[in-house]
Amino acid sequence: MDLANPVATVVKDVPEKKSAPCLELSDGTFLDHLRIYYYSLFPFKLFQRWLSYDGVQKNYFLFRELSFTLASDAYLRFQSFKDEEELKQEIWRLCPVKIDIGAVYNSKPKDRKSVKPAAFQPQERELVFDIDMTDYDEIRTCCSGASICLKCWDFMTISIKVLDSILREDFGFKHLLWVFSGRRGVHCWVCDESARKLPAEARRAIVSFIEVVKGGEQQSRKVNLPNHLHVSLLRSLRTVDAYFNKSILEKQAPLDDRSRWSKILQLISDEGIRNTLDARWAKDGGWSSRDRWGDLETEIAEATSKKASKRGGLHNVARDIKFQYTYPRLDDHVTTGLNHLLKAPFCIHPVGNVCVPIDPADCENFNPLTVPKLYDLVRQIDEFNAANPDSVGVPDYAKTSLKPHMERFENFVNALSEEQREKLRAQRTREDRMMNAQ
């Protein structure tokens, strides 16, 4: 490969206007294209600006752990770099198939062996959340495992809306970077200074506040909320209600046949109601999930009108089922562990998808099936150059479908930088006033 012009070297053999194949790590073409991506498209400057927070403190980027997974399956932890250029040169040299981001330590991670283990400790890390579609396999009916479609992607849409609102409204965080994981989930990076400095205990407290769906595979009813909901849950319930009919009842059809509706009936503590609904639904096979849900709500409302039937939380069961079928399901270990690693934005998933940022305000229009793909990006650069031979100064990302995603990331980093500048200006003003007062 001619790395002076890697695009021309590889793309000459790519048929024009061909839909992107599913590239895998075992395919040599994947690594050829990945190398081009790192040379031409990966946002090294923005990446370093983000993780250094414009030098919020000395050695912040230098003490940050990055890890690389190579095509050989070699896993290189505790990598660290002094600046953008050093990071870029190493990634160009290694061509990692995955980049993970860790904590900021109290010394250079790559030199950790030169200090006592107890002296090498994580100091700061973004507050991060990982939501994976496989955690919804017990309730989604359209797909399972690694497979996703637009029907079940609504689980991610609802999760983004609910969690984004909680983090902003209840905790006051402002700088939230939502990122597509590359295949079947989303990550959230809370980058406010106050979030980065949170100890593990505070992170556990935040998870505890957010978590609603609790219990293992053997537990049927995983949501048991009190009669009177916290204002945060009331706000979340409005989002849940807005999506439940279409996203759950219509798209997932959880009450269309007995194998599905039996899972929901198990969540009702009253055996009489369970038997009544099961018999009625089995008798009338023409009902939709919407019809049966309406019947369930009516049956419960009639039962709860009798004072004795309010035992066992029956009067809240319909509401709690809605939460169980829609609410974010968090991997709490990712959030609470300061030394836990999380995949970096703009990584390339083995299927070829780019891990692009998601706009939470417009997440309902995000399509995980049409995100920029490695194969297409390389072709798009070649096609742009062929169609615009006299173009000068156009960055390669602007020649591709990656452009709006890169601009979203740049706007996010710029907002962080502007806040840091405002803090420095305010600090100087305070210092000037103190000097003038002396």
pLDDT in tens, the chain (438 residues): 344 444 333 333 333 334 444 445 556 789 999 999 999 999 999 999 999 998 788 899 999 999 999 999 999 999 999 999 999 999 999 999 999 999 999 999 999 999 998 999 999 999 999 999 999 999 999 999 999 999 999 999 999 999 999 999 999 999 999 999 999 999 999 999 999 999 999 999 999 999 999 988 778 999 999 999 999 999 999 999 999 999 999 999 999 999 999 999 999 999 999 999 999 999 988 899 999 999 999 999 999 887 554 555 688 999 999 999 999 999 999 999 999 999 999 999 999 999 999 999 999 999 999 999 999 999 999 999 999 988 888 999 999 999 999 999 999 999 999 998 888 787 777 877 777 877
Give the position of tokens 């912040």. 60
Q: Are residues 183 and 289 in the same domain?
A: no
Among candidate residues 32, 100, 126, 132, the one labeled active-site is 132
Residue 306 located in a structural domain:
yes
My answer on whether 278 and 397 are in the same domain is no
Domain endpoint, select from 276, 306, 325: 325
Same domain, 315 and 412: no
Is 132 among the catalytic positions?
yes
CB pairs under 8 A, 24+ apart, for 151-157? 151/251, 151/252, 152/251, 152/252, 153/366, 153/367, 153/368, 154/243, 154/247, 154/251, 155/247, 155/326, 156/131, 156/185, 156/186, 156/363, 156/368, 157/243, 157/247, 157/363, 157/364, 157/366
115 DSSP 8-state letter: S
Write down the residue that tokens 């040299």 correspond to: 93
Whether 385 maps to a domain, the answer reads yes
Q: Clarify whether 130 is annotated catalytic.
A: yes
129 bridge partner residues: 188
For residues 275 and 362, state if they share a domain: no
Q: What is the mean pLDDT of the chain?
A: 91
Q: What's the CATH number where 65 sits? A: 3.90.920.10
Question: Do 235 and 358 lie in a common domain?
Answer: no
Assess whether 154 carries a catalytic annotation. Answer: no
60 and 95 assigned to the same domain: yes
Among residues 124, 130, 154, 192, the one annotated as catalytic is 130
CA distance linking residue 406 with residue 230, whole number of Å: 38
Structural domain ending residue among the three candidates 293, 325, 357: 325
76 lies in the same domain as 196: yes
> Could you say which DSSP state residue 20 is in?
P
Domain boundary among 325, 344, 362: 325
The answer to whether residue 378 is domain-embedded is: yes
Is residue 106 included in any domain, yes or no? yes
Model pTM score: 0.90
Catalytic residue among 65, 100, 126, 376: 65
| Whether residue 109 sits in one domain with residue 199 | yes
Give the number of other CB atoms < 10 A from CB of residue 413. Answer: 23
158 in a domain, yes or no?
Answer: no
Residues 57 and 183 in one domain: yes
Asked if residue 3 belongs to a domain, the reply is no
Same domain, 354 and 395: yes
Q: Does any domain span residue 318?
A: yes
Do 81 and 206 share a structural domain?
Answer: yes
Spell out the alpha helix ranges (H) of 168-251. 193-196, 200-210, 231-243
Q: Are residues 180 and 205 in the same domain?
A: yes
Q: What Cα–Cα distance (Å) separates residue 305 from each residue in 224, 268, 301, 310, 322?
A: 20, 16, 6, 8, 21
From 58, 60, 91, 24, select the one nearest 196 (Cα to Cα).
Answer: 60
Domain of 278?
A: 231-325
User: Domain for residue 256, yes or no?
Assistant: yes
Domain count, the chain: 2
| Location of structure tokens 């190493």 | 90
Q: Is 393 exposed, middle or buried (0-12, 13-18, 19+ CB in 10 A)?
A: exposed
Give the contacts of 357 (CB within 8 A, at least 6 positions apart). 177, 178, 179, 180, 345, 405, 408, 409, 412
